[in-house]
Chain A
Amino acid sequence: MTSPRRHFAGLLVLAFFLVGTLPQANALPAFARKYGLRCSACHEAWPMLNYFGQKFKDNGYQLMNDRDAPIWQNPSYWPVTFRITPFWHRESTDKVAVDTPTGGTINRQISSSGFDHGGLDILSGGTLEKNISFLLVPSSDENGAFHMESANVRLDNLFRSPWFNLKFGKFELDNIVSEKRGLTLSANGGAYQIYHFIPAGDGNIFGQIGDNMLGLEWMGHSFNDRTRISAALLSTTDGSPDLSYGSNAYSAFFAASQAFDVGKLGTDRVGFYAMVGEAPTTYLTQGGVPIASSGIGNKSFHREGFVGLFYFGKLDFQVVTQHGWDSEWFGAGYGAFDPGSGDLPLNNTPGTTLPTGARAPTWNGAFVETHYVHNPQLIFIQRSEWVRMSQQALPGTPSDLGSIDNYVFGVRWMPIMTSRAGFAWHNEFSWIRLAGFAPNGTDLTSNSLMSGFDFDF
């Protein structure tokens, strides 16, 4: 055996030794600490929930035994978890307009790599009393600028029935495939495209079902959580506080699903969701700048789709579809502005007319995310996602402008998954193509490669 081979063999032995001697896997560790359960009890792989974890969440972060009220906890117990991800990554975009010495621009590929870290999530959740639960998540970006990701209180099991639960505040919409609990983290793979899709030139930011929103949610479920149904009334602000946009614009989100046992294969679930709403397209201005909260001229939008969770032993498939529709006013660019930025949106003041031939933009999308759960500590991930424009708002717009293809592959190994902390070595590659988004009107592609340590405690 040559020396390099011997070294390689030695490293392998060392790696196997380390793998073999690390503690057994066992995620909001605050919940795990409270109930003495391993993360794996609630998470298929942290942070994605399994059926038991979904039921725990639907019960208001309660196991529904007599240990749910905080009075049962040691006085020193503090329901707080911190999560952050230091990582190395490489980002590459194939066509970026860059200046040339002669004063023109050319398209060229830009790639960069280096060490980085994600934002900090501070997650505090639990019960204030039996059947009164809360979730508070101050979250920072990579530079430490905080916003309130979640802030809600929930009245659980009203009238002693699991069918009456009321949540109030800022919360994640009842997406059975949760992006907030997604297993992918890279720049081009960390989000579900259809949860945030906005057609090119469209002014409606309010239909992003992946964003946490402000409102009131009623949710009901059967005792074993096989049947779930919810309806939420939301302020059309895309989760921004202070009524930044319209003064009287509301949206609604509906979701329902049914799970059923399929013997040795596991438990499958099928369901649907729908979001309908309206948002302002007219703003009063001051010095030409829109005045926050003055939005009127509401126009409508909706998204709807099917959801399926299908288990085949260790292999599972999550399928989500979406059909989206925005009013032609949004499609023509009327809608949201960025409060405080001084951005001037198109303003639908009296007498405004739409461009000739303007139509409501529509699109269809879907993703299939596959997991192979070798064991609760080792999971392989794949996601393929497609969004296709079916109707552009303005005549002459290329029919596929804004269509998306996104592919993600990852492996996540969690050597530590105890009731006190979670630690995952996360590796991921993602690739995305945005049709017609390159400076020269051709397709723009980007890819991300990352490897990092995702941990919480």
Chain B
Amino acid sequence: MLTKLLQRPLWVCGVAVLTLTANSSAQLTTYDLQERLATESHAGKLHGHAKDSAMNYRRYCVGCHGELGDGNGENAQWLDPKPRDFQLGIFKCRSTPTGTLPTDQDLYDTIGRGLDRSNMPVWNALSAQDKIDLVAWVKHFSPRWEREKAGTPILIPPEPEVTPERVKAGQEVFGRVQCWKCHGVQGMANGPSASTLTDDLNRPILAYNFTDGSRPKCGNTDQDIYRIFMTGLDGTPMPSFSDNIKPEEAWDLVFYLRTLQPMNGFNTKERQIAKQLGLKPVRPTQ
């Protein structure tokens, strides 16, 4: 009995300690951040230091991303989509495989490119040094960079020449891996699953509409499009298809997706081919 009485407080204390530990690791404090001010970043010849970016983060970023980088800045409540929670260390735009950390270059490119269809502006008016320092600052919010290395960028094979056969093959891939379920058979973001999509934090999220002229979030070159569906957009329902489609099929899909987009001019080669082929929207399959 005595043993039991002694054991109970110990057990309760143990649970309390574990709970507190869990809380302390989940809730970042300014003390933790001070400890990580030595975080660095590297992209090409640029070297960034978190400690040099405090003022720029406060000037440009804190209103949305918050003092602690948790996406809870004063304006976050008005924004949709919500600002990124840097503490999670999960990023949409990466050159690295799904589930891995992005490279510093990926973060640098995102800051300079901005994120269309969100409130994240194009910050290319900032100097290269300011941007690479901000990359280090972004990294210092998440403990992931202390435990993991950034992933290895995927290899993107040289872009083949677009042909009618490749466009048709791309449409076949579009149907086979069921892109239409979210993006719709005409790429209008109205697939049967579109209205049910949520991000990893269970917040509603929209599929990309290929037809409204907006830029994809992670870049609009053919290489960017290829990269998006081979790495996936972590934190969103957009998975990586690297295990489902071969590199040449990925290029075919890029060419087919271009037939849906009005943005680089209506007379892109892909659109001309689609017109010549008389391509009809894919037929939904189970």
- A, B bound: yes
Cα separation A84 to B128 with both chains bound (whole Å) = 37
Is the Cβ of A38 less than 8 Å from the Cβ of B63? yes
Is the Cβ of B63 less than 8 Å from the Cβ of A66? no
User: Which one of A50-58, A137-145, A345-353 is at the interface?
Assistant: A50-58
Residues of B within 8 A of A67 (CB): 119
| Interface flag for B121 (CB, 8 Å) | yes
Interface centre among B79, B125, B129, B130 (most CB of A within 10 A): B125
Q: A37-B75, A38-B63 are in contact. Are A65 and B118 (CB under 8 A)?
A: yes
Residues of A within 8 A of B124 (CB): 223-224
Residues of B within 8 A of A376 (CB): 55, 58-59
Is the Cβ of A24 less than 8 Å from the Cβ of B62? yes
| Interface flag for A26 (CB, 8 Å) | yes
Is the Cβ of B63 less than 8 Å from the Cβ of A41? yes
Shortest C-beta distance, B57 to chain A (Å), equals: 11
| Interface flag for B122 (CB, 8 Å) | yes
Is the Cβ of A65 less than 8 Å from the Cβ of B60? no
Is the Cβ of A419 less than 8 Å from the Cβ of B127? no
Residues of B within 8 A of A262 (CB): 127
Q: A26-B74, A38-B63, A263-B129 are in contact. Are A63 and B58 (CB under 8 A)?
A: no
| Interface flag for B117 (CB, 8 Å) | yes
Select from chain B the residue with minimum beta-carbon distance to A311: B127
Question: Residues 39-64 of chain B: 1 if any A CB is under 8 Å from the residue's CB, otherwise 0?
Answer: 00000000000001001001110111
Is the Cβ of B119 less than 8 Å from the Cβ of A65? yes
Shortest C-beta distance, A371 to chain B (Å), equals: 14
Is the Cβ of B74 less than 8 Å from the Cβ of A51? no
Is the Cβ of A36 less than 8 Å from the Cβ of B125? no
| Interface flag for A64 (CB, 8 Å) | yes
| Interface flag for B116 (CB, 8 Å) | yes
Residues of B within 8 A of A251 (CB): none
Select from chain A the residue with minimum beta-carbon distance to B265: A160
Contact of A54 among B60, B125, B126 (CB under 8 A): B125
Residues of B within 8 A of A52 (CB): 60, 121, 123, 125-126
Question: Residues 214-242 of chain B: 1 if any A CB is under 8 Å from the residue's CB, otherwise 0?
Answer: 10000000000000000000000000000
| Interface flag for B11 (CB, 8 Å) | no
| Interface flag for A40 (CB, 8 Å) | yes
Q: What's the count of A-B pairs with C-beta under 8 Å?
A: 84
Cα separation A67 to B118 with both chains bound (whole Å) = 8
Is the Cβ of A36 less than 8 Å from the Cβ of B117? no
Q: A375-B55, A419-B63 are in contact. Are A266 and B121 (CB under 8 A)?
A: no
Binding site of A, secondary structure by majority: helix, strand, loop or mixed? loop
Contact of B52 among A38, A63, A264, A267 (CB under 8 A): A264
Select from chain A the residue with minimum beta-carbon distance to B54: A375
Question: Residues 99-119 of chain B: 1 if any A CB is under 8 Å from the residue's CB, otherwise 0?
Answer: 000000000000000111111
Shortest C-beta distance, B110 to chain A (Å), equals: 13
| Interface flag for A116 (CB, 8 Å) | no
Query: How many residues of A sit at the interface, in one of the four size bands?
Result: 20 to 34
Is the Cβ of A35 less than 8 Å from the Cβ of B55? no
Cα separation A52 to B131 with both chains bound (whole Å) = 13
Question: Residues 67-99 of chain A: 1 if any B CB is under 8 Å from the residue's CB, otherwise 0?
Answer: 100000000000000000000000000000000
Residues of B within 8 A of A263 (CB): 127, 129
Is the Cβ of B58 less than 8 Å from the Cβ of A36? no
Residues of B within 8 A of A63 (CB): 114, 121-122
Residues of B within 8 A of A225 (CB): 125
Q: A40-B59, A419-B75 are in contact. Are A267 and B116 (CB under 8 A)?
A: no
| Interface flag for A175 (CB, 8 Å) | no
Is the Cβ of A261 less than 8 Å from the Cβ of B127? yes
Q: A261-B128, A419-B75 are in contact. Are A26 and B116 (CB under 8 A)?
A: no
Is the Cβ of A65 less than 8 Å from the Cβ of B116? yes
Shortest C-beta distance, A17 to chain B (Å), equals: 19
Shortest C-beta distance, A447 to chain B (Å), equals: 34
Residues of B within 8 A of A55 (CB): 125
| Interface flag for B31 (CB, 8 Å) | no
Residues of A within 8 A of B115 (CB): 65
Cα separation A50 to B123 with both chains bound (whole Å) = 12
Interchain residue pairs with CB less than 8 A apart (6) = A35-B119, A37-B119, A41-B59, A64-B121, A266-B127, A419-B74
Task: State the B residues within 8 Å of A (CB).
Answer: 52, 55, 58-60, 62-64, 67, 74-75, 78-79, 114-130, 214
Given A50-B59, A65-B120, A65-B121, 8 further pairs, Cβ under 8 A: A26-B74, A38-B75, A52-B121, A52-B123, A64-B122, A224-B124, A264-B129, A376-B59
